[in-house]
Structure 1
């Protein structure tokens, strides 16, 4: 029998593995906990064809519907994927039986859900509250949890892929990476960075042309189903700091801000036109007016948009991305992770990421490969 060391996973490695860094406010019902998650195929092999990408997206949506986590932005490439994921806390009183059964139906068969429904009904009928709680606990620990979401998604896809390809073993090269992201400018910028992956790779000129991304699905997926869900996720990514939830009906307005953030030409009209001394000036729509109030300018900075056309290591390895105050707050909430010499958390983003200077900060000071 082979030992764990022979398999390349020594118990020492597992024991020394640090716990994943989660947002200190992860249990807050007010402050969003958002994460940029990345995972790559082992040896970075190109294994995701059209069929594999469709299947991965299907599993992603299934897990989203089950877990209560929300995908704000995503992009599935040929050997890796990116997700911008919001992980809201479980409500203090848990979820009702009806909601539990609805979530179970996202990943289990109708027959399996019927068994759980009967078990719950019997427990309720006999007044056995402890058994009701045990049934809920059987599934709820996998909900509203970043690691459980990613674990289930990766395992489900790996099992399907291995079965169809007649292979065995792991498909992913390492633990998935995650970066804590602030709502507002940071979340919008990260979402745009994710959607621009196929543009940076030279696959398409406009991310709307790439089917396996949040923006491509929002543009081409229609107003119902997953198309609506993609729009709602991007609205949340762009405007959560303004109190917007998952409101797909605001997509037409928010899409202008998003295209501008990606450095793309605007399409359509922003609103009515004003004529001042013979000069026609378009009025800002509601979303653009909100943006104007945040950044004090109705136009996105050229430097930021240009930055997103290149690989930015801070967005995958920076640990925490956001305003200086946000990064320092995350640092204070995880002080035990650092030595006494480290006095604060925020580090300026340099090199190719200097387009975000003064707007975005990183927890890690990356000196090379930016």
Structure 2
């Protein structure tokens, strides 16, 4: 059975994850992280994708980005994967694949889940017990979003900008947001929708995506179709 094309629409944020093959490392030294970010920055500009949040873990990456047109995220990730694998194989004298198959992605409802995804991504190193606080991890967008650190890769989403009237108030509000624990339900929803590549958001958001794409954006309804009154007679 052919694979379903990914859910992909212009102007709708996407949460993307790509893992190392067999959960093996995909970053081995500082130069590798720097090279990945350099390539990502160049390709995001070329493919007109705004990057809002990211984290580079030892064996996987998370990105939150908004494409200006359908197909741009796929083009970015394919080019980035090829470039980075070639770099890693040359630098570390290795051969073969680096990534675990295709990347996974899900569309994100700006109103209900976008800032949850910001937090989810930047808190990965804390959940992995690599650091005690997100600002203790170098390879994420937290420094830019929470403290205003210069990061040419980051384009703030309008929902992030709405946190305050100026940069300082936005950063204060964002730090407070990150300090609030993500509920278990939200953690489960983000992970499940990303794994299944379903649209993450309200029923209304999902219905709008389905109307535009002409196919399901979430799980099929379970059970037999309900009979109407006539057919039941």
TM-score, length-normalised on structure 2? 0.80
Q: C-alpha distance in 2, partners of 1:218/1:152? A: 26
Pairing 1:1-370 to 2, within 5 Å after superposition: 16-23=2-9, 26=10, 32-49=11-28, 50-89=30-69, 145-218=72-145, 222-223=149-150, 226=152, 229-230=153-154, 232-233=155-156, 235-236=157-158, 238-239=160-161, 250-263=166-179, 305-307=182-184, 312-318=190-196, 319-337=198-216, 342=221
3-state secondary structure, aligned to 2:206: helix
2-structure distance, mates of 1:251, 1:206: 21
How far apart are residue 217 of structure 1 and its match?
A: 4.3
Classify 1:336/1:217 alpha carbon distance in 2 versus 1 (closer, same or farther; 3 Å). Answer: closer
Whether the aligned pair in 2 keeps the contact of 1:57 and 1:212 (CA below 8 Å) is no
| Ranges in structure 1 where 5+ consecutive residues have no aligned partner | 1-14, 27-31, 91-143, 265-301, 344-370
1:35-64 per-position Cα deviation (integer Å, ceiling 9, x unaligned): 001110111112413322121111111111
Name the SS for the 1:328 alignment partner: helix
Size of the alignment, in residue pairs? 218
**For structure 2, which runs of at least 5 residues remain unmatched after alignment?**
223-233
1:128-170 residue CA offsets vs partner (Å, 9 max, x unmatched): xxxxxxxxxxxxxxxx711101111111101100111222222
- Name the CA distance, whole Å, in 2 between partners of 1:316 and 1:336: 18
Aligned partner of residue 36 in structure 1, secondary structure: strand
Larger Rg: 1
C-alpha distance in 2, partners of 1:336/1:198? 36
8 Å contact kept, 2:26–2:60: no
CA contact (8 A) 1:192 1:308 kept: no
Q: 1:314 to 1:188 in 2, by over 3 A?
A: same
- The answer to whether the 8 Å contact 1:190/1:315 transfers is no
Q: TM-score, normalised by structure 1?
A: 0.52
Counterpart CA distance in 2 for 1:220 and 1:22 is 31
- What does residue 11 of structure 1 align with? none
- Counterpart Cα distance in 1 of 2:90 and 2:177: 41
